Structure 1
Amino acid sequence: MDLRNIAIIAHVDHGKTTLVDKLLSQSGAFRENQAVAERAMDNNDIERERGITILAKCTSVEWKGTRINIVDTPGHADFGGEVERILSMVDGVCLLVDAAEGPMPQTKFVCSKALALGLKPIVVLNKVDKPAAEPDRALDQVFDLFANLGADDEQLDFPHVYASGIGGWADNVLDGPRENLDALFDLIVDHVKTPKQVERADEPFQMLATTLGADPFIGRILTGRVEAGRVKVGDSVKALSRKGDKIEQFRITKILAFRGLSQQPIEEAEAGDIVSIAGMTKATVADTICALDVDKAIDAQPIDPPTISVTFSINDSPLAGKDGSKVQSRIIRERLLKEAETNVAIRVEDTPGGEAFVVSGRGELQMGVLIENMRREGFELSISRPRVIFREENGVRMEPIEEVIIDVDDEYSGVVIEKLTGHRKGDLAEMRPAGVGKTRIVAHVPSRGLIGYQGEFMTDTRGNGVLNRIFHDWAPYKGPISGRRQGVLISMENGTSVSYALWKLEDRGKFFIGAQEAVYQGMILGEHNRDNDLEINPLKGKQLTNVRASGTDEAVRLTTPVRMSLEEAIAYIDDDELVEVTPKAVRLRKRYLDPHERKRMAKVEA
């Protein structure tokens, strides 16, 4: 069968996964009576809850005698490691752009990777049926984006269609019949080339592993595109590292091909196809699986380095071990190393004492998803404030700079610009109208300045602003940036919080806990109104006497406490604070710093 390999790339929430649903449905991948969940490719619990794609996933459809392998990729730059690996498996990309929003930061990120590999894009102007859609403006912005990213003439001469993913239609003209996705299917078959690997079908077998998975029945599974030759179930092959060193020799026990939403066992895989193989025990991502007489490894696409680090350690609070079952540092270390093996954008390093682990990655969201997965598996952890990773260039200390694109109501643009350029050492790059009553602000801000800014931004814009950010460049260190301005309210007792005590303390600040919750000495209960920390007693009950007085029977009505999500808590804490994460709770607390640690942190800040 004729073959095409294509990846669908886009910014967060521009409709990739919804479009894939419709492609599968209209190609006949589902039975008429088959029950299929919405956003079927997002099969991870966290993906469904948050409405974002985190893991790249493959599927395939058949269209007029051609098999089209489709890769659904994450839209968020924090999961860019997935995108960078996946693009090496395909021969074309389908770029989805919201016709109202136009190209956004993550669009720029994934496009730069695709264009650098020489892939020719197909542009799908999605959501053209929205009232605010401006498809012509979005198309012009896509062309400008490609030109700025260094696209060649062939890549700039890209075809495009107008579509509605949720409506299930795509047309070559804006006022087309809007019936189905036939125009997009035909465009993929005509525009994307047959994999050049097909011409190498008679050479010895070679395959570059791009994703790693596991199955309870068949064990370790590696997925990738067959770069040359053929391979059958039962063949003996070997795995080579990036440097060409032999890792292991094994017999292939299973070959799985993507057919719709499922994987089906096949007897033989041919050059150009995307398949999964089983039978190995050590081989991992970026290794070359090849015939026994092949000695050279396939070059793996380099991955961008991490930009932030977070310290994971055991939960040593007084409430440790009450919720989770996995509390030992040894088990935490094993889990983190397992994650680093499958996620090439993450690095794990041991600290000198061996009780804590420094995990480096792309951003706060990536760290938050990893921690959320671990807490659901029964882990208890203590998490430090994220730290930016610096590097030296010619004796100059360099720090990562991010491009921030903000869409906000006109009345709030002043306070946003003041916060970004004043307090957070950013540079304003662009400011222009973005629709009726809206302003688009583009700024280049140090990554340090954006840690913890999301919550402050939502407060400043009354929840109406939209903030997107992506790594831009490295720049010389811009000097100290002030962190959180408010102090915190700290418990001075162990026990259970009392309504009366919290009610009497409400004028000191806002609380993160309610009544009848377990507290302990050093636990952060809320945010102080002033810039200093304040120790309070949340256990102090009402003094009972036999004398009645005015106000004695006054009703206690507590203000609803502020409940932080995991990412908000990690971004909120200061350097001398920790987030305590258990399967049932997210708490904030102060941590004890020995003199050596205090000295080291002071040196880092300086």
Structure 2
Amino acid sequence: MKVSNTEYDEHKGRIAIGRLHVGELQSGMEVKVCTPDDACRVSKVSEFFVYQNFSRVPVESVGAGDICAVCGMDGIMIGETIADKVTGTPLPTIKVEEPTVRMSFSINTSPFVGREGKYVTNRNLRDRLYRELERNLAMKVEDGETADTFLASGRGTLHLTILIENMRREGYKFMIGPPKVINKTVDGKLLEPYEIAAVEVPEESMGSVVKLLGRRRGQMVDMEADGPEGTALLKYKIPTRGLIGLRNAILAGI
């Protein structure tokens, strides 16, 4: 079974989700967990579930072809293989894409601090951000330059915006910094992340959008001009820094 997704439960810990390709998996059996770098460790399945009507149902065993959620294996990651303890072999791995955008999180120091929010301290903010790593493997969190600042990296601004909104609804009050693109140096060359942007726009506004994407260093890879209700679908390869604020600029007609 290749782990294709994970969840986190306060009582059960990390839960591995995937489809069983070959064999049978039983509750309480010892298995071998193989990592992408061919390192294996022995672990034990405490319990597992199958999905019925969008809810998890506990079972004692599953067979090949079943999608299940397995509990009891600490630290299991996406792309690892749960296999037979003796004869199991790892399946082709899944690689989690690296973060492309970083934002700073810090405690609220505004004049209105303390008037709203349930969790406002440095410790509350730190615990919540690092707890997010248990269920959000595409995100990275590290301590900032000061004791009350933390850096969260994700797959684009939307990825981080979802985290911010969830924390706000949970009662956290904090400050955030502007998004910054994460560059990498490979073989002495400074590289930046690129994305594929798909924009569906009315044909009469297509010229303005093409001009805007061109100013943001976008390169057109495809265009479909026969869309429904006179729309055109544009696909661009564009630097991640060019996507920041792009939606608002298009809606404002800039």
Q: TM-score, normalised by structure 2?
A: 0.81
Distance 1:326 1:316 in 2: 14
Q: Where do residues 62-461 of structure 1 align in structure 2 (5 Å cutoff)?
A: 207-215=1-9, 220-237=14-31, 239=33, 241-243=35-37, 244-246=39-41, 249-250=43-44, 252-280=45-73, 282-286=74-78, 287-293=80-86, 298-422=91-215, 424-429=216-221, 433-435=225-227, 437-460=230-253
Distance 2:223 2:31 in 1: 57
How much identity, in percent, do the aligned residues show?
33
Deviation at 1:372, TM superposition (A): 0.9
Deviation at 1:402, TM superposition (A): 3.0
Alignment coverage as a number of residue pairs = 251
Deviation at 1:257, TM superposition (A): 1.6
SS of 2:102's equivalent in the other structure is strand
For structure 2, the residue ranges without an aligned partner over 5 or more in a row are none
Distance 2:202 2:17 in 1: 45
Distance 1:220 1:444 in 2: 36
Amino acid at match of 2:5: T
Distance 1:333 1:382 in 2: 13
Which digits, 9 at most, give the CA deviation of each residue in 1:338-379, with x for residues without a partner?
Answer: 322322221222223343222221111111111111111121
What RMSD, in angstroms, separates the aligned Cα atoms of the two structures? 3.0
Contact 2:8 2:135 in 1 (8 A): no
Name the CA shift for 1:357/1:437 in 2 (closer, same or farther; >3 Å). Answer: same
Deviation at 1:457, TM superposition (A): 0.8
Amino acid at match of 1:225: R
Deviation at 1:386, TM superposition (A): 1.0
Distance 1:274 1:439 in 2: 39
More strand by share: 2
Q: Where do residues 560-579 of structure 1 align in structure 2 (5 Å cutoff)?
A: none
SS of 1:460's equivalent in the other structure is coil
Contact 1:233 1:267 in 2 (8 A): yes
Contact 1:410 1:438 in 2 (8 A): yes
- Structure with bigger gyration radius: 1
SS of 2:20's equivalent in the other structure is strand
Contact 2:141 2:150 in 1 (8 A): yes
For structure 1, the residue ranges without an aligned partner over 5 or more in a row are 1-206, 462-606
Which digits, 9 at most, give the CA deviation of each residue in 1:74-104, with x for residues without a partner?
Answer: xxxxxxxxxxxxxxxxxxxxxxxxxxxxxxx
Q: Which has the higher contact order (CA 8 A, sep 6+)?
A: 2
Distance 1:336 1:342 in 2: 11
Contact 2:14 2:134 in 1 (8 A): no
Aligned to 1:39: none
Deviation at 1:432, TM superposition (A): 6.0
SS of 1:341's equivalent in the other structure is coil
Name the CA shift for 1:431/1:216 in 2 (closer, same or farther; >3 Å). Answer: closer
Name the CA shift for 1:458/1:232 in 2 (closer, same or farther; >3 Å). Answer: same
Distance 2:26 2:19 in 1: 15
Q: Where do residues 533-552 of structure 1 align in structure 2 (5 Å cutoff)?
A: none
Deviation at 1:455, TM superposition (A): 1.2
Distance 2:75 2:147 in 1: 27
